[in-house]
């Protein structure tokens, strides 16, 4: 199963904050994109294991936690600025 993650730049602390729409308890961060990706992988697994341990409690919060369907996922990207040498990105 795939669980989409959101990598949001953290302008104050630097790096990225990572959240999962389908796993509300999974929130982590990394100093760069590579570290954020590794932290996200670990946190996703730990959070899902914790959710399974406490499934009775989670039922009251999210009765049917499951991965998003592909048609439920949207991608948004900020427009890239042209490079300083005038080439298109």
**Predicted local distance difference test score (pLDDT) of residue 9:** 93
* Model pTM above 0.85: no
Separation between Cα atoms, residue 39 and residue 35, nearest integer Å? 6
What is the pLDDT at residue 30? 94
Per-residue pLDDT of the chain (89 residues; tens, 9 = 90+): 778 889 999 989 899 999 988 888 889 999 998 999 999 999 998 988 888 887 765 665 554 556 666 666 565 555 445 445 544 44
CA distances from 8 to 60, 61, 63, 79, 89 (A): 28, 25, 27, 15, 21
pLDDT of amino acid 43 = 92
């Amino acid at each position: 199963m795939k669980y989409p993650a959101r990598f949001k730049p953290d302008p104050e602390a630097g790096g990225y904050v990572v959240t999962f729409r389908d796993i509300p308890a999974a929130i982590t961060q990394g100093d760069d994109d590579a570290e954020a990706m590794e932290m996200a992988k670990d946190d996703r697994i730990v959070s899902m294991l914790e959710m399974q341990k406490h499934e009775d409690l989670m039922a009251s919060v999210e009765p049917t936690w499951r991965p998003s369907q592909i048609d439920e996922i949207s991608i948004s990207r900020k427009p890239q600025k042209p490079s300083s040498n005038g080439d298109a990105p």
